[in-house]
Amino acid sequence: MRSGCLRAEDVLRREVLEAIVDYRYLLNRGYKAKGALNLITSRYLLTKEERLLLYRCVHSEEDAIKIRSKFVNNLAGEKLAIDGYNAIITVAALLEGRTLYLCDDGIVRDLRGAKVRDFSSPSLRQAVGILKEHITEQAPAEVILVLDRSVSMSAEHAKAIRKNAPDWKVILASKTDKQVLALSNGYVVSSSDYVILVNAKRVYDAAGRTALKLKPQQIVDISQLLTKTKKQEQP
């Protein structure tokens, strides 16, 4: 378990812990995520948030290992492409006191979803500053932050971010995932989006690393639960 994080067993009800283990088992056996999730949700009477926790944080063992194998621990001299709203919202959720989850693929995620409010929100503005501070400490050679053009006021958001991070290149894209992946040949990619993670060549969880450093006591470690379960299953 990552130092300072909360144990899943101390936070989640027993039925959810069992649901996580069973859902991983079905994914490992080749069940499609939607069908397996429907089955587990019905079996354990999961709430909407508990179902979302499984969907976002539990993957087949093969996929989790695949994503972890792409992690880059040192950004010094690297070029970094950030899934902008994805990273900003994760850090903002932490600042607002929401619980985050360290998932089985090593990525930290929130359960709020990608709803973006006006950047007059203190937590969103503060999140940009904190994220920039963390990334600057890693001394990357270049940073590109990609924002979804379809989000309301995205052009204004881009302007505000450029003002606070003048050394970053901020671009608007009609499809953020496609734009980030188009950069992945030459850039380390930062996102918690599963599609981006499985297709990128190298990964750095900028928002997650920032959150783990800032407030690990607000992060529930799901990964250690599945690691412990696997050890118990071994002969």
Per-position DSSP letters for 53-109, written without gaps between them: HHHHH---HHHHHHHHTTB-S--TT-EEEEEHHHHHHHHHHHHTT--EEE-TTS-EE
Residues 65 and 71 sit within 8 Å (Cβ to Cβ) = no
Region 114-129: mean pLDDT is 73
pLDDT at residue 63 greater than cutoff 90: yes
Give the least confident one: 145-159, 182-196, 217-231. Answer: 217-231
> Quick one: pLDDT at residue 180?
97
Give the pLDDT of residue 152: 86
Q: pLDDT tens, 10-62?
A: 999 999 999 999 999 999 999 999 999 999 999 999 999 999 999 999 999 99
Give me the long-range contacts of 6-9 (CB less than 8 A, separation at least 24). Answer: 6/217, 6/218, 6/219, 6/220, 6/221, 7/220, 7/221, 7/224, 7/225, 8/220, 8/221, 8/222, 8/224, 8/225, 9/225
List the one residue out of 87, 74, 80, 83 whose CA is nearest residue 186: 80
C-alpha torsion 116→121→125→126, nearest 10: -110
pLDDT tens, residue by residue, 178-207: 999 999 999 999 999 999 999 999 999 999
Domain ranges of the chain: 6-62+222-233, 68-219
Nearest partner of 145 among 126, 127, 132, 130, judged by Cα: 132
CATH number of 68-219: 3.40.50
Please compute the mean of the pLDDT values over residues 68-93 and round it to a whole number: 96
- pTM for the model: 0.92
Q: Is the pLDDT of residue 2 over 80?
A: no
Helices vs. strands in the chain: H and E counts, helices first: 12, 8
What integer pLDDT is reported at residue 85 of this predicted model?
A: 94
Q: How many other C-beta atoms lie within 10 A of the C-beta of residue 178?
A: 12
> Residue 95 and residue 126: Cα distance in Å, rounded?
8
Residue 234: pLDDT band with limits 50, 70, 90:
very low
Residue 235 pLDDT class (50, 70, 90 cuts): very low
Q: What average pLDDT does the chain have?
A: 92
Distance CA 1, CA 214 (A): 17
Going by pLDDT thresholds of 50, 70 and 90, the confidence category of residue 117 is low
